[in-house]
Amino acid sequence: MSLYQVVNPATGETVSEFPTATDATIADVLARVHESYQSWRTSAKTERSKILHRVADLYRDRADALAAVITREMGKTTAEALGEISFVVDIYRYYADQGPALLADAPLASNTGGTAWVRKAPVGALLGIMPWNYPYYQVARFAAPNIMIGNTILLKHAPQCPESALAMERIFHDAGLPADVYINIFATNEQVAEIIADPRICGVSVTGSERAGTAVAAIAGKNLKKVVLELGGSDPFIVLDTDDLAKVVGEAVGARMENGGQACNASKRFIVADAIYDEFVEQFTAAMASCKTGDPTHPDTSYGPLSSEQAARNLQEQVEDAVSKGATVRTGGRRVSGPGAFFEPSVLTDVVPEMRAFREELFGPVAVVYRVANADEAVALANDTPYGLGASVYSANEELALDVADRLDTGMVWINAPEGGGAELPFGGTKRSGVGRELGPYGIEEFVNKKLIHTPSATKD
């Protein structure tokens, strides 16, 4: 059985398989991606911008076919797959349009005389290690800024996403990107370790589990390589008060059920003030129970299967652990009978620290609701997690909401709105949710050499 294969999680059928790279192939691509950097680094920013615009055009033009691929690979509904591709188009266009200005020289006042400035230069060949849950989007937020910078890329995608990995490589080539500036590799974990250690690789970006990030960071640190780590999250959705509970409940369901609950920045812990807790739980449970899972290609399906049989088993074990220790299942809590990795929309209450569900990330359609007395208790509970990715805070008192936002140990906070995003908005967390930022102006600065240039003359080239 091949490591890289498409197993449709809606049916359990193995659709396609691809061979892993040989050691000779890895040696070859390392040489090629390093060599291509020598010329790509000197290419004009205007040319890079034109290529990224063509990449965006091709994603737009091929959207239906690309959406079908990831629905087959990881179970995303057709509607959500098309939404992901739309976001990808925005990301490539953002860096195509804004990249030259974001990379412009930054003048510095100097007390030593002469003229000083910082030039944002490329650093070299990079390795990207990407996950399955957003196959195109995760790659775009790494690849777009770094191609704009003038870096080159080896891309190792998740083993269950070989078809989308090849489709992305084809798009780059069809858009006119030189062939060896972006190279897809079907590498093993052992080969990845060797790639990171290779002196021709100048940095590594990982989006994935805490376990994967820890392993990669250890190798990168040993070899003095820069890393960007976008890892897990157990994001709080805090409701202190509201003038429109039905609206908040609707947004809470959407925040939990995006991508079938398989998003690192999906809201997973719902922390609700005592005064509205009972009514929130009643409405939220009913709304969650109404979500419909099934064929991800059917327009009436709310969310598809989990990404794999193993993912469904893992989630079931987490729920069963909580229930065995006293958690209350308000709705769901079980696998859906029949073929496929389907799981019922679920709500748990009475979850306490002794349960796995209190500390671990629940990657699927399971929400946990907590009762708190006030804002101080909400902050304490929200911060009582190893993760620190994002959060939402709801209150009619904006001053109170902003105060809570300031006290949260997270990389992102949304006030009176579910967590969202945009190509121009930086994405990233703190604590065990990772290091570094992607997207927006901060995302283009992770893998650049901020080179100081000083000249005694009054004019610079």
Beta carbons within 10 angstroms of residue 430's beta carbon: 15
Structure tokens at 245: 């509970």
Helices (H), 62-136: 63-74, 78-102
Torsional sign, CA 49, 55, 56, 61 = positive
Tell me which H or E stretch contains 26.
helix 23-40
* 259 vs 231: CA distance, rounded Å: 17
Task: Assign 23 to helix, strand or coil.
Answer: helix
Residue 16 burial (CB count, 10 A):
14
User: Are 153 and 37 a contacting pair, CB within 8 Å?
Assistant: no
Q: Among this protein's residues, is 230 annotated catalytic? A: yes
Closest CA to 69 of 58, 82, 57, 50: 82
**In this structure, what token pair is assigned to residue 114?**
């002469």
- Cα 391–chain centre separation: 15
* Nearest in space to 164 (alpha carbons), one of 15, 11, 313: 15
Euclidean distance between CA atoms 138 and 61, whole angstroms? 20
Residues in the chain: 461
Fill in the DSSP letter of residue 260.
G
Look-up of token digits 């807790």: 277
142: left (phi over 0), alpha (psi -120 to 50) or beta: alpha
Structure tokens at 24: 């000779």
CB atoms within 10 A of CB 453: 14
- The C-alpha atoms of residue 125 and residue 289 are separated, in whole angstroms, by 48
Catalytic residue selected from 264, 360, 438, 446: 264
DSSP helix, strand, coil percent of the chain (3-state; round to 5): 45, 20, 35
Residue type at position 277: Y
Q: How many CA atoms lie within 13 A of 52 on its CB side?
A: 30
**C-alpha–C-alpha distance, residues 123 and 150, integer Å:** 8
Out of 84, 210, 230, 438, the active site residue is 230
Question: DSSP E strands: which ranges in 214-365?
Answer: 226-230, 235-239, 267-273, 328-331, 346-349
Residue type, 314: N
H-state helical runs in 120-188: 137-149, 162-174
Residues identified as active-site: 230, 264
